[in-house]
Amino acid sequence: MKLLKVLTVIVLVSAVAIAAAGYWLFTNQPSLARFEARGLGTTTDGTSSRVRVSWLGNTNVLVTDGETAILTDGWFTRPSDLEILFGHIGPDLGAIDRALERADIEQLAAVIPVHSHFDHAMDAPEVAERTGAMLVGSESTANIGRGWGLADESIRVATPGQAMSFGDFQVTLFESRHFEFPNPLLRRGVSSRTEITEPLQPPVRMTEYAEGGSYSVLITHPDASVLIQGSAGYLPGALEGIDVDAVFLSVGGIGGQTERYQSNYWAYIVNATTPEKLFPVHWDSFTHPLGERPQAPNLFWDQVFGLQADASIQWAFDRAAEDPLLQAGLLPLWQPVSIP
Question: Which residues in this chain contact Zn ion in the complex, by CB under 5 A?
Answer: 117
**Is the CB of 117 or the CB of 319 nearer to Zn ion?**
117
Angle at 61 between CA 235 and CA 224, to 5 degrees: 80
What is the closest distance, in whole angstroms, from the C-beta atom of residue 11 to Zn ion in the complex? 37
What is the closest distance, in whole angstroms, from the C-beta atom of residue 178 to Zn ion in the complex? 6
**Is the CB of 51 or the CB of 238 nearer to Zn ion?**
238
Give one DSSP letter per residue of 17-57, joined into a string: HHHHHHHHHHH-----GGGGGGB------S-----EEEE-S
Q: How far is CA 163 from CA 68, 170, 338, in A?
A: 16, 6, 23
For residue 225, which of 158, 170, 282 has the smallest C-alpha distance? 170
What b/e string do you get for 21-46 counting C-beta neighbours within 10 Å, with b at 16 or more?
Answer: eeeebbeebbebeebeeeebbeeeee
**Is the CB of 52 or the CB of 117 nearer to Zn ion?**
117
What is the closest distance, in whole angstroms, from the C-beta atom of residue 209 to Zn ion in the complex? 9
**Is the CB of 56 or the CB of 69 nearer to Zn ion?**
56
**Is the CB of 261 or the CB of 340 nearer to Zn ion?**
261
What is the closest distance, in whole angstroms, from the C-beta atom of residue 119 to Zn ion in the complex? 6
For residue 307, which of 257, 260, 233 has the smallest C-alpha distance? 257
**Is the CB of 117 or the CB of 277 nearer to Zn ion?**
117
Question: In the bound complex, which residue of the shown chain has the CB atom lying closest to Zn ion?
Answer: 117
What is the closest distance, in whole angstroms, from the C-beta atom of residue 114 to Zn ion in the complex? 8
Give one DSSP letter per residue of 182-236, joined into a string: SSHHHHHHHHS-----S---SSB-GGGS----EEEEEEE-SS-EEEEE-SS---T
What is the closest distance, in whole angstroms, from the C-beta atom of residue 115 to Zn ion in the complex? 6
